[in-house]
Structure 1
Amino acid sequence: MAAGELAGMRVPVPSVVFFLLLLAAAARGGSALTRRDFPEGFVFGAGTSAFQVEGAAAEDGRKPSIWDTFTHQGYSTDGSTADVSADQYHHYKEDVKLMYDMSLDAYRFSISWPRLVPDGRGEINPKGLEYYNNLIDELIMHGIQPHVTIYHFDLPQVLQDEYGGILGPRFIEDYTDYAEVCFKNFGDRVKHWVTLNEPNIEPIGGCDCGYQPPQRCSYPFGTNCTGGNSSTEPYIAAHHLLLAHASAVSLYRQKYQASQGGQIGLTLMGWWYEPKTDTPEDAAAAMRMNEFQIGWFMHPLVHGNYPPLMRSRVGARLPSIAASDLEKIRGSFDFIGINHYFVVRVQSSDANDQRLRDYFVDADPFEEGFDEVHFEYHPWALGKVLHHLKLKYGNPTVMIHENGDPDWPEAPGKIDYDDGFRSEFLQSYLEALYLSIRNGSDARGYFVWSLLDGFEFLFGYGARFGLCGVDFAAAARTRYARSSARWYSGFLRGGELRPEKPYVSL
């Protein structure tokens, strides 16, 4: 689906959602929702990631990541790079001031592995260490909690070249050593750690479809790759990510958690799959997709092994979890982060190919091309994800780490202050989140994606998610607060959550 088509396709929210919202309002005496309705200690914030906003790609000892190589070869959606992007490396004080002015409780950001440990292992880069210490100190000085993702896709290129990156078992050891650098140097101030961002997505983009680095795939699942095996490598890569996560959590709990008093978890992409039609076959297909996407990691984290459905359908191509790793994996989280954007409609397929036994089982978009996918924004889908986690995985503590709505400026240099659609989007999703909490879900935080415009992994600079815009045409990368930033600030200061008009979902 083209970006313009995605942006223009809007359909109404189901009437049942409005009915539920009316019931919720009635339960509060007719008043609109405010932040005071959320549990005590609930955290509101916004997020970014290092590669997407930092810039300074070749400054102060930083070396290339696989995403630098990918974008410099011209493979990003719009041919752009993140060499400068929003240039947060040089503007972090300004950005922290924006957060403070918005009254954010927390900022979710990632540490760039190739900036902190440029060769992937070994020597720490003193300039990288200084930068992250300064950023963390600036946040704390302004009363803003740092929520840190240790690895957000930007693997050092040197490790990809040496042993294939996440496809190599050596990744587990190198990642654990890198994570310890983070714990040791920042853990006295960082109390919220995310080991990995979206390990249930990275293996698909990089090792199945091949539309993201390291561009490994095999026909017919991907056609623009020089090597790879789409029927085996995604499972191998995900297995190594799972083991790396468990290894880092084990290290943190053994050496650092008691003295530092932090919490640690990982963040999954939480798309929700719905049947395209009301047939039993499509309902079963949607169930399988949710099991493959969410259960791929949640089942081993809760039960110690991959879901039975995956084991039966993938067979020997799915790596086995060794008995020695089982107990290390099971329970290796204090919370689960969820990045939620879309409902994906799926339809059962009778096509007799490997896809029926693979991750993308019965999913039309990956059989026939992305023009067939059905992405939809619906606030109730966030509630379904949380309900699924509650019923199937013991109601874990959840942080909503990403939720946002992009716009698609026709002119790259356009300055757009008014993004009322985004305020309406946030209003509706916060209502849905509130209802889930009322229904027993243990959600404890919500982070808007994103604080700033930046380089989007799927869209380059063609899509803008920022509460605060960035003038990419200006050398100084001038920031400006959009209307959604002002709305969010008002809400965080105790104002009512009252839509000017009902949100119309995309």
Structure 2
Amino acid sequence: MRVILSTGILSLLVAVSGFSDNSVRRFKDGFLFGTASAAYQVEGAWNEDGKGQSVWDHHFHSDPELWSAPGDVASDSYHNYKRDVEMLRELGVDVYRFSISWTRVLPGGFSSMKNEPGLQYYDSLIDELLKHNIQPMVTMYHFDLPMVLQHLGGWANPYSIEWFEDYARVLFDRYASKVKYWITINQPNSVCEVENFENHLPKSTKGVMDYLCAKHVLLAHARTYRMYEKEYKKKYGGSVGISISVNWAEPATNTTENVEAAEIYREFTYGMYLNPIWSKSGDFPKLVKDRVAKKSKEQGFVRSRLPSLTKDDIKLIKGSADFLGLNHYTTFLTSPSKGGHPVPSFADDVSVDLTTKEEWKQSHSAWLKSAPYGLYKACLHLNKRYDYPTIFITENGWSTDKGLQDPSRSEYIQQYLKALLFAIEDGTEVLGYIYWSLMDNVEWMAGTSERFGLYEVDFDSPERTRTARQSALVYKRIIQKRVVEEGWKPNNLKITVSKVKTEL
């Protein structure tokens, strides 16, 4: 029986100050805690041991206006993976989420040419994790498409479905006996925005390629899920999900126009990917289909710029996930757009402006403010819309500048985990929580200027030395105690390997 939402809980959501209820809530014993990273952001060794070129390698090496490619060395996890695992042991985590570089295992993008040194690197990392009772969670695709495939159109090419499925089979064949948690694609709603560098598309394709990409990544995910379900699941018993960016959006003020803007934003940004998998009917959201069709007609298109999903597509995609990987960082306030977007474009189709509250605490990233109640509301929205999907929080994090004293990150973790406990109390089915990120890394176009790590990385040192921040000890204590003690902070920053993990 589902837990019915108490209106009293909502009264506890006191804007950015978090929750005023002093009751002690505890994460159950089976709840999994972890941290995360992504291949391009931490591995480095961009051209070592046979690795091919990704779109990000190409981008930073081909644009003379950019600084030297930050991902060439990054945090140098390719050579320091044992230290990374030691850090995980110090924290006492249950799970480590990392991504596999497509071009490290398949340098040319296609499964016809496998790179054994690259495959062995991930064997070594996975074995080191399992040796210390830390479960690997593998993300197959985290933004780093092989440049060879981008030259062929990338995710806008329908053959990308087969390219990804072939790549996934290589990973399943190699690692399925060791890996129980899989994520096919990270944030397709970021992958498919033409504004995102990865697509390398001309402006004239805005509002067309975005939607082609959306269809193809969903089908690539679904075909990979069905492959695992048919050929690997019975033997290995693992789980396959997909990670979607779900930053909460709500009306700037309670007017009809702003309420409608919030719904439009939600449906276009994450409903596009949630609805086909988790809704009872499947398919893209009706609001999205109707809005794009109407605008396309007004713009002189013969048919909608949003490609249709066939009955077979809908059947294939529907239910194609064992869990929803929820990437959540912040909250936005919505109102109708004042215009100025290219026509046609995804942004024009949405036509929603985003703001935040001035009193929300600001991180070191311009887009990221702390509003912990948004995680609670996002979870309840998903429960209502998609009938209580099984959720794994696969990203949640906070950026600061350099420095080991990071009280704002400690506070962010405490408040967001407290919000998650309220969501669990009100019926949300959550398998675990993964903080982004284990260590400082390359934050894409921001380089190393924004620090999300529990561990600081000295990017000026050849060894890329890692040092625990205050927040690492705060997170370690939450994992050990399985409760959130708001305001708790360590007396010093000394951190040692968890005795629990070493005894297992």
TM tier, shorter chain?
Answer: 0.7 to 0.9
What secondary structure is seen at the aligned counterpart in 2 of 1:347?
A: strand
Per the alignment, residue 162 of structure 2 pairs with: 173
Summarize the Cα distance change of 1:352–1:295 in structure 2 as closer, same or farther, 3 Å threshold: same
TM-score, normalised to structure 1, is 0.85
**Match of residue 54 from structure 1:** 43
**Greater Cα shift, 348-357 or 261-270:** 348-357
Give yes or no for contact 2:333–2:354 (8 Å, CA) kept in 1.
Answer: no
Asked if structure 2 preserves the Cα contact closer than 8 Å seen for 1:232 and 1:317, the reply is: yes
Matched, 1:213 2:198: yes
1:408: Cα distance to partner? 3.0
Aligned residues: 455
2:101 is matched with which residue? 112
- Aligned 1:228-377 pairs, distance under 5 A: 228-302=204-278, 303-315=281-293, 316-349=304-337, 351=339, 358=346, 361-364=350-353, 376-377=369-370
Q: CA deviation at 1:350?
A: 5.9
Q: Residue 147 of structure 2 corresponds to which residue in structure 1? A: 157
Tell me, which stretches of 5 or more residues in structure 1 are unaligned? 1-12, 219-227, 367-372, 410-415
Question: 1:212 Cα shift?
Answer: 1.2
| Counterpart amino acid of residue 43 in structure 1 | L
Instruction: Report the AA paired with residue 173 of structure 2.
Output: K
> Match for 2:288: what amino acid?
M
- Residue deviations 1:158-211, cap 9 Å, x none? 1111x211110111001001001111100101000000000011111xx2x2x5
Gapped runs of 5+ residues in structure 2? Answer: 1-10, 294-303, 356-365, 490-504
Please give the secondary structure, in 1, of the residue aligned with 2:319.
Answer: coil
CA drift of 1:278 comes to 3.0
Deviation at 1:358, TM superposition (A): 4.1
SS at match of 2:170: helix
Contact 1:76 1:460 in 2 (8 A): no
Map of 2:19 onto structure 1: 21
Partners of 2:416 and 2:64 in 1: how far apart? Answer: 33
How far apart are 1:22 and its partner, in Å? 3.5
Q: Is this contact kept in 2: 1:199–1:241, CA < 8 A?
A: yes
CA deviations on 1:439-498 (whole Å, 9 max, x unpaired) are: 000111101100010101242111000001110000011111111111111221227522
Write out per-residue CA displacement over residues 193-247 of structure 1, whole angstroms, 9 at most, x where no aligned residue: 000000011111xx2x2x51233242xxxxxxxxx41021100011110110011
Query: Is the 8 Å Cα contact of residues 120 and 158 (structure 1) preserved in structure 2?
Result: yes
What TM-score does the superposition give when structure 2 sets the normalisation length? 0.86
Paired AA for residue 300 in structure 1: P
| 2:189 equivalent to 1:191 | no
Percent of matched pairs sharing the same residue: 38
Residue among 398, 401, 413 paired with 1:405: 398
Q: Aligned pair in 2 of structure 1 residues 71, 365: CA closer, same or farther (>3 Å)?
A: farther
- How far apart in 2 are the matches of 1:177 and 1:142? 31
Q: Secondary structure at the match of 1:139?
A: helix
- Within 5 Å, give how 1:413-492 maps onto structure 2: 416-492=403-479
Note the alpha carbon deviations across 1:53-77, whole angstroms, 9 max, x for none: 0000000000110011112234898
Conserved? CA contact 1:314–1:357, under 8 Å: no
Deviation track 1:385-419 (CA, whole Å, cap 9, x = no partner) reads 1111100011110011111110134xxxxxx1111
Q: Name the SS for the 1:89 alignment partner.
A: helix
Distance of aligned partners of 1:14 and 1:66 in 2 relative to their CA distance in 1, 3 Å threshold: farther
Q: 1:15 to 1:399 in 2, by over 3 A?
A: closer
Secondary structure, in 3 states, of the residue corresponding to 1:431? helix
SS at match of 1:63: coil
Q: Which whole-Å deviations, capped at 9, do the CAs of 1:344-379 have from their partners, x for residues lacking one? A: 22221364977698455222369xxxxxx9753200
**Is the Cα contact below 8 Å between 1:78 and 1:459 reproduced in 2?**
no
Query: Which deviations, in whole Å up to 9, do the C-alpha atoms of 1:113-166 show, x marking residues without a partner?
Result: 0001111111210001100011000000011010010111111111111x2111
Question: Partner letter of residue 68 of structure 1?
Answer: D
- Going from structure 1 to structure 2, the CA distance change for 1:465 and 1:78 (only over 3 Å counts) comes to farther
